[in-house]
Amino acid sequence: MPEGDTVYRTAQNLNAALAGAMLMRCDIRVPAFATVDFTGQRVIEVVSRGKHLLLRVGGFTVHSHLKMEGSWHLYQHGTKWRRPAHTARIVLETADWVAVGYSLGVLEVLATDDEDTVVGHLGPDLLGPDWDAAEALIRLTADPQRPGGLALLDQRVLAGLGNVYRNELCFLRGMLPTRPVGEVADPRRLIALAHRLIDANKDRSERTTTGTLRGATDWVYSRRGKPCLRCGTKIRQGTLGENELQLRETFWCPHCQQ
């Protein structure tokens, strides 16, 4: 499941391969931008902002969001693609690399000066060079009655956390996802843990919140009915969201989380 660390790593890989290189081919397979052609332009850089990916070229930005199914792949010329060609939404080629964006939930082109229209609403980026823990605390505690499990998923509060991290953070802090933010003991520690956890995974190909890549890599996420790794109580599963479109699965230990 793509979360902020996945997008960060994707941006780093794309930037290493494309930044400074001239595009020899630009094929955008989204009707609204199908006529856009950056062939002959040099890629300036590729950066992440929360779960958003920004590829800057020639005064414009190719903005993409992976959503649930999207991914970017890098291939050397002549290498077989690992996903069906019909799912490709954009193909960018340089002399050395072919970058393909598959099943992207969002793909659009806008002026780089207008990037704030798509990412300006985001809260502090947990993996950004401008990470601001103080601002994150202000946003997290702005609505004391809001369930902490909802606030952690709100990209306007913290940019980069997804459902895996939401569930794991609640477990590690011993709180039910439904606990109101105003009742969370020392929310500063919750924010600090979120930053530490996602930062520790940003360069890993496989995410872990338990500290091991052997055996269970998650404490509670997707472990319904399995014994808690701490106390042995069976993990429970439910849903939490502010409306039906925002419902996300929650997992918790009824003994370790109160």
Q: What is the pLDDT of residues 89-103, one digit of tens each?
A: 999 999 999 999 999
Catalytic residue (choose from 2, 124, 147, 177): 2
- Catalytic residue list contains 248: yes
235 contacts 253 by C-beta, under 8 angstroms: yes
Q: How many CB atoms lie within 10 A of CB 190?
A: 24
- Catalytic residue list contains 139: no
Q: Write down all domains in the chain, each with its CATH number in brackets.
A: 4-119 (3.20.190.10), 133-252 (1.10.8.50)
Residue 80 has φ and ψ, to the nearest 5°, of -70, 135
Catalytic residue (choose from 139, 146, 188, 248): 248
pLDDT digits 0-9 by tens, 10-19: 999 999 999 9
- Catalytic residue list contains 244: no
Catalytic residue (choose from 49, 51, 56, 89): 51
pTM greater than 0.85: yes
Integer Cα distance of 106 and 108 in angstroms: 7
Average pLDDT over residues 119-131: 97
Give bridge partners of residue 98 from the DSSP assignment. Answer: 75, 93
Query: According to the model, what pLDDT value does residue 245 have?
Result: 56
pLDDT digits 0-9 by tens, 221-231: 999 999 999 99
pLDDT digits 0-9 by tens, 234-250: 999 999 987 655 788 99
- Catalytic residue list contains 3: yes
Q: Of 36-40, 142-146, 188-192, 243-247, which range is least confident? A: 243-247
Residue 117 has φ and ψ, to the nearest 5°, of -70, -20
How would DSSP label each residue in 145-156? TSBHHHHTT-TT
Average pLDDT over residues 111-115: 98
Query: According to the model, what pLDDT value does residue 103 have?
Result: 97
Average pLDDT over residues 168-182: 97
Helices (H), the chain: 4-18, 116-119, 133-140, 148-151, 163-172, 187-201
Residue 101, classed as helix, strand or coil, is strand
CA 129 to chain centre: 16
